Chain A
Amino acid sequence: MTNDVIIIGAGPAGLSAAITCAKHGMNVVVIDEYYKPGGRLLGQLYEEPDGSWWNGIKESDKLYNQAINSGVQLKLSVPVINIERQGTEWNVFTNMETLQANNLLVATGAAESPAPVPGWTLPGVMSVGAAQVMTNVQRVKPGEKGIIIGVNVLSAAIAQELKLANISVESMTLPKINSMNHDYAIPKNVVNSLLHVSHLSPSPIIKIGSNLMKYKLINKLALKFYPNKGIKMWDIPIQLKKAVTQIYGTDKVEGVTIANVDDYGQIIPKSEKSIEVDFVCISGGLYPLAELAAIAGCPFYMIEELGGYVPLHNERMETPLSGLFVAGNITGIEGAKVAAAQGTVAGLSIVNNTLNSAFEFELEEAIKQVRIIREENPIQFHPHIQNGRKKMQKYWNEYFANNQESFII
């Protein structure tokens, strides 16, 4: 049987799209490899600027219930391993069966980049996202006392979540510099990205930000005046002038070696000290998880502001491949509310394409809504996200100027 719509990914983008399509009478199947619906929304827990709490588990439940009540069929614990267009249909290969649909939405979200440090393969070292899932979704402590390597919006938000769960975090600090990590190991670069992010972000970053802002007045000197012992955020020191040079332990993490570094991330000799911890979180940031769009043959562009290689798409969430849509973090790293709004756009786009452009007005409105939510969104992973979005639109226009045949059939 050919479905009207298959959606890969049950995160905020995929579920919002599913609800929109199902409410307009389409039959929808959502596939996710995780055993719970909600995607990365599940682990989120933070205070909004207005003082209310954003609880990802509750938000996921809401979306899930709405989806089920509108007749969406969910297949959980099912990884999609390949997609392929055949005639006018998309074949979706899972580890168990192959499904067909006229429209396919890839809403596979984002993945974490690792921040390798010598010793990072020891048991007890995990990505910050893993610590978030253990703590907030599984309700298991990742350890008693840990350290976070990598200072960014995501790791700061998760540091607070660990703190809320009564898990002690020794400090947040940088990784020792190597050939792969200049963006997040060189103090100057890190300060820069934090300064730009600060004015819009939720409480954790507002705090780092406003502290750093004091130094921003003296602009480039910010780092020079950054205290050696770090600035504290809910009692967690944020060290921008120190780096972990090694994680040690025999069979599992027993501690880390930490050293002072200069503005360029070079180790200051003889400054090394050991700190005992029983777990280590590493964070090199997020990138769009776009494997399936790549396999389908979608053109890709490297747009740093969006977090990496992104499949070509327009504001209607269409790709140049006929019947293939994208939404959420696969199109660029942003918060959950933007992802959900993009999902609604993708859903309306599919409905509109199927029903002879009958929903043009609703679609335009939904696109406006994405822009509004983007502007108001407290979580901004990249300070120049708007620029990134503009670049993508430019690539889209250029692509269609050069490829007269319009959509690839």
Chain B
Amino acid sequence: MSDKSMIICRCEEVTYEELIETAEKHKCSARELKLRTRAGMGYCGGRTCRNMVESIPRQYLPNKEQLGLVTLKYQPPIRPVHFGDLGGDET
């Protein structure tokens, strides 16, 4: 197995290659990288791959200043919840 086919986001099965190619092509922020590839947008809410998705654009962003502040957003619920629990009663 090579680096290229290495899975970074397990939930959405996004590979290292896909992330690198997207970052290189669009010179985009971490947020844009996430939206373009769906890395970090799966079931776990990015709990595993978040840091990796955040670190990739650093090398391709032309303006390094942008980095300090832009972080991927957190959104509730921050843990997976059963629809039943969210919806209240189970009848």
Contacts and interface: CB of A to CB of B under 8 A. Distances in A.
Contacts of B56: 179-180
A383 interface: no
Contacts of B16: 116, 178-179
A292 B38 CA distance: 22
Interface in A173-200: 176, 178-180
Contacts of A388: none
Given A116-B16, A179-B20, A246-B1, A95 B78 contact: no
Interface in B35-79: 47-49, 51-52, 55-56, 59, 68, 71, 73-79
B59 to A, nearest CB: 6
A121 B10 contact: yes
A302 B69 CA distance: 8
Contacts of B7: 121
A114 B53 CA distance: 12
A291 interface: yes
Contacts of B55: 179-180
Interface residues of A, number: 33
Contacts of A95: 77, 79, 81-82, 85
A79 interface: yes
A179 B78 contact: no
Interface in A298-318: 300, 302, 308-309
Nearest to B47: A111
B72 to A, nearest CB: 10
A186 to B, nearest CB: 14
Interface in A77-98: 79-82, 93, 95-96
A93 B77 CA distance: 9
Interface string A116-133: 111111000000000000
B78 A33 contact: no
A179 B1 CA distance: 17
Contact of B79 (A33, A114, A178): A33
A120 B6 contact: yes
Nearest to B24: A179
B71 A295 contact: no
B38 to A, nearest CB: 17
A295 B1 contact: no
Given A33-B79, A79-B79, A118 B1 contact: yes
Most B CB atoms within 10 A — which of A114, A291, A308? A291
Contacts of A33: 79
B78 A292 contact: yes
Given A81-B79, A180-B55, A118 B2 contact: yes
Given A121-B7, A178-B16, A180-B52, A93 B76 contact: yes
Interface of A: 33, 79-82, 93, 95-96, 111, 113-114, 116-121, 176, 178-180, 246, 248, 284, 287, 291-292, 294-295, 300, 302, 308-309
29 contacts: A33-B79, A81-B76, A81-B77, A82-B77, A93-B77, A95-B79, A95-B82, A96-B85, A113-B51, A114-B49, A114-B51, A114-B52, A116-B6, A116-B16, A116-B52, A118-B3, A178-B3, A178-B16, A179-B16, A179-B56, A180-B55, A180-B56, A292-B78, A294-B73, A294-B74, A295-B78, A300-B71, A302-B68, A308-B51
4 smallest beta-carbon distances between A and B, as pairs: A82-B76, A81-B77, A79-B79, A294-B74
